[in-house]
Amino acid sequence: MRARHVFDERHVGAPGIAHGGAVATVLDDLFGFLLYLIGEPAVTRHLEVGYRSPVLLGTPYLLEAGVQRREGRKLFVRAQGTDEGERPWSRRPHSSSSSAWSTSPVAVETRRLWRRERATVAGELSRSHGRALRVRSTPRPAGLGGARLGRGRARGGTGLRPRWGLDFSYLRVPGLAPPIYLVGRGGDMEVDLLRRLGAQVELRRTDDAALGWRWVRDELTAGRPVMVWADIAELPYLRVRLQMSRHNVVVIGYDDERQIAYVVDNDREAVQEVPYAALARARRSTGFPAPTRHATFAVDWPERLPDLRSAAAEAFAAAAAGIRHGGPGIVDSSDLPPGSISALGLAGIREFADDLASWPQVWDTVTLEAALAALPVFVEKAGTGGGLFRRLQVAACHDVAWRTGSSASARAGLAYDRCAEAWSRLARAATADVPLPDRVAAAAEAAARLPALEEEAADLLALAAEELRVSS
């Protein structure tokens, strides 16, 4: 069997070189895939790796593995990795014993997550809550590479639009608590992503609570978990005072007897039980940044996923454009009160970096403390450019690089990894245990590095898009 792999900065040993243990892990993982494909479940008994040349970060490697021989219950398998210059970096036999099950971590994780999801949602909940519970569950697509998704109705074209994914919005609004807001994604990311997967999606809105709930029930009855907007201030399991009305949650079931909806939220590991009344308040919120109006995503999945290269090329190009020029924000700036600051894209990142240094002259100590304390939340959890969405972009770039052999995608992934770490460094500086003036200075210094890193990453993402487009 053959595979491609790109080592990144998470695997560094010596500068610019992958750690030997990471290389061995990749080979062991490759053998797991091989054993799975040939139908020989086994566990590793002995693994020996010979390194013929340094394994470089950011370089696509071709991995090849095959069965060498069998001795009783032992299988001897062999692999080698070769860079684009055809220089091998490892080649050693490896023995496995077919006494227990072993496969690649990716394959094991994918199956177990799906089986656990079905057991939790369709089994444990139904056993706990009996006949009154209505639960449906469908698998989520695991990639863009042409895998079948099951039955669906893919009507007339993909409906692609020119913006997707990454963006940046900076808001400083008088009277807002906290007084700033950062967003690191495009305003229509959910719809655009689904359409790029080839799905037909309709974002429905209404002020009629009964109709909004009927939409949810209809989707569940059809076997589709349904994503909705909900204000985080009204979700009891979050226990926050901050309002954010465009928070996405997925409703996977409901219990009329207990008046409970079962909700999945990326902020919590477990399925959450949300009272009907609380969910209704969250879905009719008029809070920041916009009224929720019982917004419901009705998704009709396609028969097949689109071609990976072309879909990734369009997505990367649109994301790069979103950062360079700014896309649709989540707030209409004309609705903001006087004295507000609203900026998008790279201009927004520069505005944020410049403005942060002026915060001590703008606010009193209490407000300044609140703004600094909010930065880690926005950076790592609540949707900003940094630790959260840039790391998602890192994963996307490296996945595309692995599946297509795109070296430009791998370089873009490394650039966004640097962006993500820079944003996280800002978050740490804002909450460091030092005097307030020192915290502001350190945060401002960290923020000043962001525009150049973001511009470099957007340029590399555009180059990756072009490489994928040419090769598709």
Q: What is the DSSP string of 115-168?
A: HHHHIIIIIIHHHHHGGGEEE---PPP--SSS-B--S----SS----S--SEEE
Encoding tokens for residue 241?
A: 């005072």
Give the SS3 label for residue 72. coil
Domain-located, residue 69: yes
φ, ψ dihedrals at 95, nearest 5°: -115, 145
Q: What is the pTM of this model?
A: 0.62
At which of 103, 131, 163 does a domain end?
Answer: 103
Domain-located, residue 196: no
pLDDT of residue 365: 95
- The pLDDT tens digits along the chain (472 residues) read 778 888 888 898 887 888 988 988 888 888 877 776 666 767 788 888 888 778 888 888 888 888 777 777 777 888 888 875 555 555 444 544 432 222 232 222 222 222 233 323 222 322 233 323 333 333 333 332 222 222 233 333 323 333 446 788 898 988 887 889 888 877 777 888 888 889 999 999 999 999 999 999 999 998 889 999 999 999 999 887 777 888 899 999 999 999 999 999 977 888 999 999 999 999 999 987 789 999 999 999 888 989 999 999 999 999 999 889 887 666 677 778 888 898 989 999 999 999 999 999 999 999 999 999 989 888 887 655 456 788 888 888 988 998 898 999 999 999 998 998 999 999 999 999 999 999 999 999 999 999 999 999 999 999 999 999 998 7
Domain-located, residue 246: no
Domain-located, residue 132: no
State which residues form the domain around 364.
307-325+340-471
pLDDT of residue 214: 96
The β-bridge partners of 51 are 90
**C-alpha span between 293 and 284 (Å, rounded):** 5
Which residue is associated with the tokens 């740490």?
428
Which residue is associated with the tokens 């491609």?
4
Encoding tokens for residue 328?
A: 């649709």
Encoding tokens for residue 198?
A: 């080839």
Domain-located, residue 233: no
Helix axes 345-356, 436-448, angle to 10 degrees: 150
pLDDT of residue 359: 96
pLDDT of residue 430: 95
Domain-located, residue 203: no
pLDDT of residue 87: 53
pLDDT of residue 428: 93
- For the chain, the domain total comes to 2
At which of 80, 103, 126 does a domain end?
Answer: 103
